[in-house]
A and B are shown apart, each in its own frame.
Chain A
Amino acid sequence: MTYAIVARCPITGHFGIAVASYSIAIGRHCDGALRAHTGVALTLGNPNPRNNYLAINLLAQGCTAAQALDQLLSNDPDSEYRQVAIVDRDAAIAHSGAKLRPWSGHRDGAGYCVFGDMLAGKAVLDALAEGYEREPQAGLDERLVQALAAGRDAGGLTGGSGRLPERSAALIVWGSRPYNEIDLRVDLHEDAIADLKRIYVDYKPSIAYYEERAKSPRNAVPAMEFVEKLAAGREAR
C-alpha cells in the first residue's frame, strides 16, 4: 500500500526519498534511512523497524549495497513480507518479498530504485521512473516530486475493492550535512501527493532565508516581512 523512489542525484551526490502511502504518517518509517556521503536504505511493505538503521550502518562500515541487502534479508525471518531498496554511491539494488500483496515489485535504474506494493500494476513503477527521468538536469527534490505525481496518475494504489487514496506522503533530501536539507510531510490527507506539492512549492524559497537568518541574526529580515514579500512576488507573477 505504498510506493517510493530512492535516488542519488548524479549532479550533486545528494540522496533522497519520495514516498506515498495509504497508511498514515508514512514519513515516520523513513527515519534513519539516509546518511550523507553514505546512501539511502528504505524498507517498506510490512517494514521491519530495525532495517533502515542497520542498513545505513552496514553501508557506513563499507559493505556494498548488495552485501547490505543480503545481510538485511538473512537477519529477518519475515523478509518475504518486506520491500527494501538501497542506493549508495556506486549502486542501486532492491528486494520485493514473495508474500507482499499484489501488484508488488521494483525496478532499478541508474542511481535510483522505484518500488511499491498493492499497486495498480507495473505501469505505476514505470511512471515513477519516467517521472524521475523526465528532467535529468532538475534538482533532486523536483525530480522526486515529479516521480510521485506520475505514479499517482498511472493508477497508484489498489486494494481488494479498487483504488486506494494516497493518504500520506514524504519528500526527504540529504546533502553533505548530518541532517536533512529538505524534509516535508503530509500525514493524513485525501490527496497527499497534491498537498505535498503545495507545501513544497511554498517551502522551497524559504530555505535560504532561514539559513541566512541563523548565520547573521543581527541583520535578519523579520519572518513576517519575508513571507509577505514572497506572497507579493507570487501575486505579481
Chain B
Amino acid sequence: MTYSIIARCPRTGRFGVGSTTFSMACGRRNESVRPNVGISKSQAYYLRHIDPLALNMLAQGHTPQHIARVLAADDPDFDYRQFGIIDRYDNVVAHSGPGCNQWAGHIVGPNYAAYGNGLAGPQTVEGIVRGFLAAPDAPLEDRLMMALEGGRDAGGQMSAGRKRPERSAWIRVTGARDLPEIDVRVDLHDRTVAELRRILEAFKRRREYYESRCTRPGDSVPEEEFEAALAKD
C-alpha cells in the first residue's frame, strides 16, 4: 500500500518525489533521489538496493527503459515489484508487477510517473495526476503536494475491502546542489497528508531565512526574532 509521484520540473529541471503509504517513515528512502541525475523510486515488495543501482546506471548514461529491462532480467520476483524511473531528458518508465497488492497500476506522462499499489482503484492514480496537472506553473513541491492530496481525495488506499490510512508521507525536491531544497516528512500520523501540507507550508515560510542563515550567517537576525515576526503576519 503506497502511492507516489516522481517528476522533473520542465521549467527548472528540478527533480521531486512525493509519496505516502501505510508503512511508517517512507521518507527514509532518500537514496531514491539524486540531484542532476534523476529519481528511481521503488515500492510494493521493494528491495532497498534497487534505487541506488538504477541511479548509478542513470549516472553512467543508461536510459530508464534500458534499466527497467536490466532489473527485469535480474529478478525472479520482478512480478512483485513496482517502480518509476525518470532522468534528465524526461525519459520516464514505470512498472507495476501483477503480484503487487491490488489495485495496482501507474500513469506515465511527459515528465512524471504516478503509481501505487493497494489502492482503492485506478481513480487514486488518476487523482494524483489531476492534482499534479492542476497548476503547471507552480513550484514543483506544490505540484507534488497537490498530487498527493489528489490521490487521497480520490480514494487513496484500500485492501481487503477496507479503506487503509496513510500513516507516513514525504516530499523531496532537489535542484542543482547536493542539499535537497525541500525535504519534509511525516513518519507516523493519523492525518498524514494534511500534516504534510501543514509542515510544507511552515517550511516554505522559513526557507529563505534558513538559506540566508547558511550562506550569509553574519547578516542573519536571531531565530526567535524571525519567528516572532512570522507569528505576527
Interface of A is mostly: mixed
Q: Which residue of A lies closest to B24 (CB)?
A: A203
Residues of B within 8 A of A198 (CB): 188
Please tell me if the beta carbons of B28 and A184 are within 8 angstroms of each other in the complex.
yes
The count of residues in chain B whose C-beta lies closer than 8 Å to any C-beta of chain A is: 50
Min CB–CB distance B156 → chain A (angstroms): 14
The listed residue with most B CB atoms (<10 A of its CB), out of A99, A180, A214, is: A214
The answer to the question of B222 belonging to the interface, with a C-beta cut-off of 8 Å to chain A, is yes
Report if A159-B31 is in contact (Cβ < 8 Å); known contacts: A50-B178, A202-B24, A223-B23: no
Q: Which residues of A contact B1 (CB under 8 A)?
A: 223
A106, B93: Cα distance in complex, Å: 48
B89 within 8 A of A: no
Contact indicator B222/A159 (Cβ below 8 Å): yes
Q: Mask for A179-222, Cβ within 8 A of B = 1, else 0? A: 11011111110000000001100110010001101111110101
Tally of A interface residues using CB under 8 Å: 55
Cβ-defined contact, B178 with A224, below 8 A: no
Q: Is the CB of B23 within 8 A of A210?
A: yes
- Excluding A49-B215, A199-B25, A222-B160, 16 further A-B contacts by CB distance (< 8 Å) are A25-B184, A25-B185, A28-B179, A31-B30, A31-B178, A49-B178, A159-B223, A179-B49, A183-B25, A185-B187, A202-B24, A203-B187, A206-B23, A215-B47, A218-B80, A224-B160
Chain B residues proximal to chain A, CB less than 8 Å:
1, 22-25, 27-31, 44-49, 52, 77, 80, 99, 101, 159-160, 164, 177-180, 183-188, 198-199, 202-203, 206, 210, 213-215, 217-218, 220, 222-225
3 tightest Cβ-Cβ pairs between the two chains A and B: A183-B28, A81-B217, A217-B45
